[in-house]
């Protein structure tokens, strides 16, 4: 919401009166005097008029988790343990998942209560790359590299997948880079190439790689730098942490 609206709403004032208070230097956003009426303020920022708190800052949560196999990427589930069950935080009920993994997939999962950040992460147009290491039951055919780059038509969604990079690491192991996350996307793409996926591990999102020392089931808060790193487009694959 724009700063003038926050002030006007709180005091039931007209916009002009709110502008006058802001221009007089009486309004602070996160303890800094702010003179711009049109400054965008989100719910994680504190707004003050003189000594009065007009809007208290909500606690923003940005977490990474090393998802183990068998846990579902959901906030609640009647049958299975969820990624949120693994987190020990008083505000965990507010979390949502920024990019799910299938139940038997492992690796990096991000959780947050900031919808604007997660939207930026997941928008295909934002070109945030996600790297996965995939194991298959059958040898991966060389032609799969071109097929992944070209894209596959998914009749269910009526879309063609965005160009994806496939790097064959061994007869039945490959690294995949995607810019989107359709339902069971990697399994379906390999299925079109005659390969059943038997293991799938997400190594990184943007320039944020799953840390070597974060064991399956462990989680921690992201640093400010890591929050930005996750949004970085066009990154090379990470080194290390190839398997879950
Ligand atoms: N694609 C899949 O098929 N499964 C995942 O968990 C992630 C991407």
At 123 the pLDDT is 85
Going from the Cα of 108 to the center of ligand 1, the distance in angstroms, rounded, reads: 12
What helix, strand, coil percent values describe the chain, rounded to 5?
25, 30, 50
First-to-last alpha carbon distance for the chain, in angstroms, is 42
Q: Is 105 in the pocket of ligand 1 (CB under 6 A)?
A: yes
The verdict on residue 185 lying in a domain is yes
Query: What total of structural domains would you count in the chain?
Result: 2
> Rounded to whole angstroms, how far apart are CA atoms 122 and 80?
25
The verdict on residue 238 lying in a domain is no
Query: What is the domain extent for residue 74?
Result: 62-229
* 129 and 12 within one domain: no
At 27 the pLDDT is 96
> Rounded to whole angstroms, how far apart are CA atoms 187 and 33?
52
Residue 208 near residue 103 (C-beta atoms within 8 A): no
Question: H or E segment at 197?
Answer: strand 197-205
Give the residue ranges of DSSP H helices in the chain.
3-11, 15-23, 115-122, 144-150, 185-192, 224-229
For the chain, 244 residues long, give each residue's pLDDT as a single digit of tens: 999 999 999 888 888 999 999 999 999 999 999 999 999 999 999 999 999 999 999 999 999 999 999 999 999 999 999 999 999 999 999 999 999 999 999 999 999 999 999 999 998 778 899 999 999 999 999 999 999 999 999 999 999 999 999 999 999 999 999 999 999 999 999 999 999 999 999 999 999 999 999 999 999 999 999 999 999 987 778 875 455 4
The verdict on residue 205 lying in a domain is yes
At 240 the pLDDT is 56
Report the b/e string of 210-221 with b at 16+ CB within 10 A: beeeeeeeebee
H and E: helices and strands count for the chain: 6, 15
Q: Is 102 a catalytic residue?
A: yes
At 235 the pLDDT is 76
* 80 and 97 within one domain: yes
Going from the Cα of 187 to the center of ligand 1, the distance in angstroms, rounded, reads: 6
Q: Is 200 in the pocket of ligand 1 (CB under 6 A)?
A: yes
At 124 the pLDDT is 74
* 125 and 71 within one domain: yes
* 76 and 36 within one domain: no
> Rounded to whole angstroms, how far apart are CA atoms 169 and 189?
17
Going from the Cα of 103 to the center of ligand 1, the distance in angstroms, rounded, reads: 9
In degrees rounded to 5, what are phi and psi of residue 131? Answer: -105, 135
Q: Find the farthest-apart pair of alpha carbons in the chain and give their distance in angstroms, rounded.
A: 70
Atom of ligand 1 nearest to the CA of 181: 8
Q: Is 187 in the pocket of ligand 1 (CB under 6 A)?
A: yes
């Amino acid at each position: 919401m724009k700063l003038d609206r926050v002030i006007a709403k709180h005091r039931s004032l007209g916009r002009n009166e709110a502008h006058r208070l802001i221009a007089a230097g009486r309004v602070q956003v996160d303890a800094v005097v702010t003179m711009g009426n049109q400054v965008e303020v989100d719910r994680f920022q504190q707004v003050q008029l003189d000594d009065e708190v007009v809007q208290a800052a909500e606690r923003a949560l940005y977490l990474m988790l090393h998802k183990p196999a068998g846990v579902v990427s959901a906030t609640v589930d009647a049958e299975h343990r969820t990624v949120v069950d693994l987190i020990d935080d008083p505000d965990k009920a507010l979390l949502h998942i920024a990019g799910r993994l299938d139940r038997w997939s492992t690796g990096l999962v991000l959780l947050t209560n900031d919808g604007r950040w997660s939207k930026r992460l997941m928008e295909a147009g934002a070109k945030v790359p996600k790297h996965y290491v995939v194991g298959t039951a059958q040898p991966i055919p060389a032609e799969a590299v071109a097929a992944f780059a070209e894209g596959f038509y998914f009749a269910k969604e009526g879309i063609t997948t965005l160009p994806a990079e496939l790097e064959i690491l061994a007869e039945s192991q490959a690294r995949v880079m995607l810019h989107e996350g359709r339902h069971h996307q990697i399994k379906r793409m390999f299925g079109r190439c005659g390969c059943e996926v038997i293991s799938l591990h997400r190594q990184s999102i943007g320039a944020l790689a799953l840390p070597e020392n974060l064991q399956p089931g462990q989680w921690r808060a992201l640093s400010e730098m890591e929050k930005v790193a996750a949004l970085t487009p066009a990154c090379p694959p990470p080194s290390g942490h190839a398997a879950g």
